[in-house]
Structure 1
């Protein structure tokens, strides 16, 4: 089958790799380990002796201390041949707490290494990489920013054990449109543009990016493999169903947040007009927050019901929706299954 024929049949069916389910399927699986290693080396600028040669995929429950982190797992967590831990998080929508959330994840990742009686000198670096489908860092137009601990006056680095990355896809696309990117020579831009081809929120496909990467893939085996795995993921009925469920959940949550923000703005405006701003501001915020939480919980439970009605495994549904197993059993009983 020619590339042109493949494009005509499959391009409109490709899933958005910025949805965490799809991202984890492509970059977080053992069969695509070589792709993950290339991707990590590009982000971390590892070359020569520092290059990542091998990774082990891990699962880590990171939540528990914060309400929004219950039942959540890190998107992708790997350990390198040097025992460095690297966490990659993909965020499709802005939850307005990304910086603090990222630091919290790093702290848990770093502290989880420690065992009773273990010397601090044995603690290895922990790295958190955040790929964001929204703007975050206002101080720069760069789409990739990296952070360490530095001394305030002379800017020398305190330690290498802490490293945090933020990658902002909208800034990347802006540079692409301004013809400031060269994916032929810039490996990181190449892989990040791959993530950008499908924009599910806008129902748009960047065919110009697809054509460019398709040409580059002729001489890039890892990129070829990524295209193949992406197509297979997009066309597999079971995987597609799980993706659609996760996509709906994300968009429903995003709509609930936006509606809550709108209601808060309206309420604040009305309060100002009535001259009662100070008296009711706190109550409004609390009420909106409760309403938003209930709306999200209801949307998630509805998604779980639909999946269970299709006889999907309880554990799989719990993993995708983030609901506890106990809640899955309750819903299953309600449905008489």
Structure 2
């Protein structure tokens, strides 16, 4: 039977990647995202969930804050919707993480890289097919890096095409994409067979622990419902905006049609009205009707 616990639910995400009891999972994830440039061997979780009484209602505490043995700081988060201003928020959080390291009079050389990683179950960068996007401070052609101090990584899960075969997934970034998208439909045995790293065996154990622990299962269900409600609310807002846009377009089209007819009756110049707003169209229509009345038409 499938484990049935979705790792993209923020509470699960935090228990997987933000637990001091499972550093191997966090290390594997960070090394997958950062690639060969950095190989982390130790990581400290700075904001673990300590117990059942923790307030997990605020999404912000479900981010994972971590520091590696060289002092690099990490903020890792899961987003299942596409909130307004996400790009700006990521830039703001990363910059805040960077400047928070030193106080007045401290040497700038004390600053260590601040790295934000956002796993996104939505598509933010539609102009790119890349699943993993890596943003740094570089010159225009990307050949010179000013500093490694600020980094933002995006992992856009919907861009990952699930393989149709049963091969073992060895690429670490692909493995995490597969895990986030399919782990809830897999058994622990299937997870062990699919991935080459033992970190995923440990991740499967965390999912199983949540599934069989009443308190954690309850927290999971609450967060799952909250995320579904938020997604439904955002979808409703999108649908409403679309309907209002369509209604506005229909009204604008009808208004243009009436104005063109009035112009024909008056024999006036047919200048373009394509860019006029509803209010401007209504004012023009009223003026044309006045002219008709004055002519006794």
> TM-score under structure 2 normalisation?
0.74
Bigger share in helix: 1
Deviates more, 1:270-279 or 1:22-31: 270-279
Rounded Cα–Cα distance in structure 2 between residues aligned with 1:154 and 1:258: 37
Q: 2:192 aligns with which of 206, 214, 225?
A: 214
Aligned to 1:72: 60
1:84-95 matches, cutoff 5 A: 84-95=72-83
Rounded Cα–Cα distance in structure 2 between residues aligned with 1:166 and 1:44: 11
Matched, 1:267 2:244: yes
**Could you say what secondary structure the match of 1:89 adopts?**
strand
Rounded Cα–Cα distance in structure 1 between residues aligned with 2:236 and 2:68: 42
8 Å contact from structure 1 (residues 197, 210) kept in 2: no
**Could you say what secondary structure the match of 1:136 adopts?**
coil
**Could you say what secondary structure the match of 1:197 adopts?**
helix
Query: How far off is 1:243 after superposition?
Result: 1.0
Rounded Cα–Cα distance in structure 2 between residues aligned with 1:100 and 1:183: 37
Deviation string for 1:297-319 (max 9, x for gaps)?
xxxxxxxxxxxxxxxxxxxxxxx
Matched, 1:115 2:103: yes
8 Å contact from structure 2 (residues 11, 62) kept in 1: no
CA shift in 2, pair 1:40/1:71, >3 Å: closer
Rounded Cα–Cα distance in structure 1 between residues aligned with 2:227 and 2:278: 34
Rounded Cα–Cα distance in structure 1 between residues aligned with 2:192 and 2:40: 26
Q: 1:31 aligns with which of 13, 18, 21?
A: 21
Rounded Cα–Cα distance in structure 1 between residues aligned with 2:130 and 2:235: 27
CA shift in 2, pair 1:41/1:154, >3 Å: closer
8 Å contact from structure 1 (residues 141, 171) kept in 2: yes
CA shift in 2, pair 1:119/1:226, >3 Å: same
8 Å contact from structure 1 (residues 53, 81) kept in 2: yes
Deviates more, 1:259-268 or 1:113-122: 259-268
Matched, 1:177 2:155: no
Aligned to 1:59: 47
Query: How far off is 1:214 after superposition?
Result: 2.4
Query: How far off is 1:96 after superposition?
Result: 3.8
8 Å contact from structure 1 (residues 87, 127) kept in 2: yes
Matched, 1:224 2:210: no
Rounded Cα–Cα distance in structure 1 between residues aligned with 2:234 and 2:100: 32
8 Å contact from structure 1 (residues 182, 189) kept in 2: no
Matched, 1:186 2:165: no
**Could you say what secondary structure the match of 1:148 adopts?**
strand
Q: Which runs of 5+ in 1 are unaligned?
A: 1-7, 61-69, 200-204, 281-337
Rounded Cα–Cα distance in structure 2 between residues aligned with 1:59 and 1:229: 18
Aligned to 2:258: none
Rounded Cα–Cα distance in structure 1 between residues aligned with 2:251 and 2:194: 62
8 Å contact from structure 1 (residues 183, 190) kept in 2: no
> TM-score under structure 1 normalisation?
0.66
Q: CA RMSD in A?
A: 2.8
Deviation string for 1:263-318 (max 9, x for gaps)?
222223333433495559xxxxxxxxxxxxxxxxxxxxxxxxxxxxxxxxxxxxxx
Rounded Cα–Cα distance in structure 1 between residues aligned with 2:98 and 2:68: 14
Q: Which runs of 5+ in 2 are unaligned?
A: 49-57, 256-276, 281-297
Higher RCO (Cα < 8 Å, 6 or more apart):
2
